[in-house]
Structure 1
């Protein structure tokens, strides 16, 4: 399953959504997936590749290689620190929290630098920090060395999300950005899955050299995108010059506080935070803890669940992209909310039959259903963010979303640990399902506030004239290009 770093149409005529009707979880799948215009042929993968600029193709070409390295080390942080380097569990917990806190602290300045200098000029030093951090971690025989290494990794991680997303948005046209993000997510999971299979077959806690090898391997994989940015993509900085005002005055600097006053952006920020809190933060912490403590399944079952999660994304993402093309992104998020709610109910049911084959099936089913929801998340919320953002502020827009995600990544596991440790099993599942319902309400708030193009559809068509209505002198037409 991918972590947060991970890194996007034909346009259709928008139909009205009743403004006084709130979201109801009983809404049918037919309503969620209602077609917004007459059926049109869905673009093929070949047409996407044809329309994708050369720079976008080059960026996609290194994704699986880079994330293969992530997959090498992703499952083994606790095992490496505690069982190989013999740090206490308390020390290990503190060390592994460092990247999230450092990333949270650096993401704000990183967004401003991305807008000022260009994404690639900020990403390149971050890649150097990422490679150095992994090399240091491979030789981290003391907690102090590990802390320095993890600080470097946290700083790099805080830059990667806003940096790569801003760079993608500067290269990939809005019309195919949704598909780009979805295909990128497929490659991310493919790389992580292959990396996990490789490292799982070679690491041995009694042979520290095997763990050193996977961390060094992770460092090496970042040479692929690093070389690409210095070579074929050296002309792509991602920097956008803000045009001066009509009177010739220099544009005023836009602060994060100004962005937070944006009525369209605020619900998107909340939606990002909540999707991370009830989604990835729990899948990486609460899911495992609940499955082991409450469901009483084996570690092998948890490993199988994550394998199913990754395989589901790789197999279904392209199909899902075809199905959601031309639909309102907020309605796709509604489907995501229902799917994730179902996945957490499946996990909760596992707690009713602990230690049984049924619990095993329900835990694995939870991971698979959750993965289906993930295929809907990546082509929607990140794309809405970048379609809302002015070109010269993409670094800051993506930085805000990264901060929301990282905040949830810090809070989510802590809440899960407290609730599961206190055996508030039912309350924990109810919180997650209820969170999915709140996400749905936020999605409809987003729909009412964002412009049509950010929601993946063209501007609303005018009402057709009737026999009793006078024909307007000129009726603006909505073209295929919006």
Structure 2
């Protein structure tokens, strides 16, 4: 059932945000600018500038994600116990330290210490989502997650463009500079959390009568709604981000036979689509079932991977180059549908006093999918199986359609973004919100 309420404009969205939400949102792009400067070049920096073997450099990148998975569980519990603000603050300081060490790392042990600290800061995602959910209530929450995602991509995209023009593997100090800029950019959230947002602890006490609410990760994950949502999150990352960051460039180079410049243009097109289309997409999906939005997203991603697969038939041609860029246009459009929905469903399902654990579970499954995706892509493409690779990811996208439809029957209408009378099972029912600010 679609909502007949007037569509939100960017101006009305900003006007409805509480002051704390405006503080968080207004600094996102600046915060991520530094991250965007370093993200595309870390492997290159470790290998070509610091002389670390390419395989070891790749393993260090994977280690960052692995550490992130390890700390997700304790991090989620810490959010519930100490509050999202404190956990985010500590994570920012730890990440800043790691990036600072990496800027001057001339040996493998120093690089291991740096990447370990960067991985520990993986608790930032569930902590930040819990803080947003504490500050922003109701339908505005979905819009916030979507706009935040667009601003994250804007910051990362601009940072990547600037660093691409600046860094030079023959001048090591250029890489040191961008890592120091990345570290300095984290002073912005630290200043916010110590200043204007110092009263936002984003922690809720356990409400009366909530003794039967599952608090362990296993019991939370076994709830029907969360089980389906976590499966959807894992598959979405496995066939989505895990393959987009590893499988896509490998396929584009080996099977489509396009230049690295074309791949760069494809990523630029992805960022442009997200930044330009996100708020328009948010207006279109407002009042519609989030599970139906996820179905549409899955079909768009299936189309994207099909387009990429077809470029292998016309490898090395202008048509192949066009198809590679078009893939990222479709993929970016799918992202604008995915990013507002899954975080909103997760936080609408979560009781306030367990929001950290719910977001940590979602983050953990997301990161595991991101780790396994490149492994599978590397194996298939290394063994000359590009057709099987495309078939696998398209099948994964289509399986998400079934998962989204299955999820629809297991969550309340309120968590699905619409008004309705459906009442979920006791184990899935959100509990009354607590005052966290």
**Counterparts of residues 408-427 of structure 1 (less than 5 Å):** 408-427=369-388
For 2:417 and 2:336, locate their aligned partners in 1 and report how far apart those are by CA, in whole Å.
Answer: 16
Q: Which has a greater percent of helix?
A: 2
C-alpha deviation, 1:460, in angstroms: 4.0
- The Cα offsets for residues 259-299 of structure 1, whole Å up to 9 and x where unpaired, read as 02211111000000011011000010000100011111111
Counterpart of 1:107 in structure 2 is 72
State the Cα distance separating 1:77 from its structure 2 match. 1.2
Q: How much does 1:175 deviate?
A: 2.1
**Residue of structure 2 aligned with 1:240, choices 185, 204, 214:** 204
Structure 1 residues 194-224: Cα deviation after superposition (integer angstroms, max 9, x where no partner) = 1011101110000000000000000000101
The aligned runs of 1:331-346 (5 Å cut-off) are 331-346=292-307
SS at match of 2:200: coil
Residue 295, structure 1, aligned to residue 260, structure 2: no
State the distance in 2 between where 1:253 and 1:412 align.
31
What is aligned with 2:53? 88
Q: Give the whole-Å Cα distance in 2 for the aligned partners of 1:261 and 1:343.
A: 32
Find the structure with the greater CA-based Rg: 1
Partner of residue 147, structure 1: 112
Deviation readout 1:380-415 (Å, 9 max, x if unpaired) = 111000001001111000000111011111110000
2:146 to 182, 202, 205: 182
Deviation for aligned residue 1:243: 2.1
Q: Secondary structure of the residue that 2:340 maps to in structure 1?
A: coil
Q: CA contact under 8 A between 2:83 and 2:203: conserved in structure 1?
A: yes
Coordinate RMSD, CA, aligned? 1.3
Deviation at 1:423, TM superposition (A): 1.1
Q: Given that residues 129 and 155 in structure 1 are in contact (C-alpha distance below 8 angstroms), is that contact kept between their aligned partners in structure 2? A: yes
- In structure 1, the residue matched to 2:174 is 210
The question of whether the paired residues in 2 share the 8 Å contact of 1:166 and 1:394 is answered with yes
What does residue 173 of structure 1 align with?
137
Aligned-pair distance for 1:62? 1.5
Q: Deviations along 1:112-151, whole A, 9 cap, x unmatched? A: 0100110011111111111111110000101110000000
Question: Equivalent residue for 2:291?
Answer: 330
Q: In the superposition, relative to structure 1, how do residues 420 and 252 fare at CA in structure 2: closer, same or farther (>3 Å)?
A: closer
What is the DSSP-based 3-state SS (H/G/I as helix, E as strand, rest coil) of the residue aligned with 2:139?
Answer: helix
Q: Does 1:68 align with 2:29?
A: no
Contact 1:244 1:251 in 2 (8 A): no
Q: Tell me by how many angstroms 1:49 deviates.
A: 1.1
Q: Report Cα offsets for 1:21-50 as digits up to 9, x if no partner.
A: xxxxxxxxxxxxxxx35x442121111111
SS at match of 1:454: coil
**CA distance in 1 between partners of 2:359 and 2:232 (Å):** 14
Partner of 1:267: 228
Q: Would you say the 8 A contact 1:243–1:251 is kept in 2?
A: no
Distance 1:360 1:120 in 2: 45
Aligned residues of 1:177 and 1:383 also touching (Cα < 8 A): yes
Task: Give the TM-score normalised by structure 2.
Answer: 0.95
CA deviation string 1:54-95 (max 9, x = no partner): 010011121111111111001101110111111111221221
Q: Report the Cα distance in structure 2 between the residues aligned to 1:391 and 1:400, rounded to whole angstroms.
A: 15
**Structure 2 runs not aligned, ≥5 long:** 423-437
Deviations 1:227-286 (CA, angstroms, capped at 9, x unpaired): 00000100001100112339xxx8887111110221111100000001101100001000
- Partners of 2:61 and 2:282 lie apart in 1 by 35
Match in the other structure for 1:194:
158
Structure 1 moving runs of 4+ over 4 Å? 250-253
8 Å CA contact 2:214, 2:220 repeated in 1: no
Partner of 2:91: 126
Aligned residues between the structures: 422
Query: What SS does the aligned partner of 2:224 have?
Result: coil
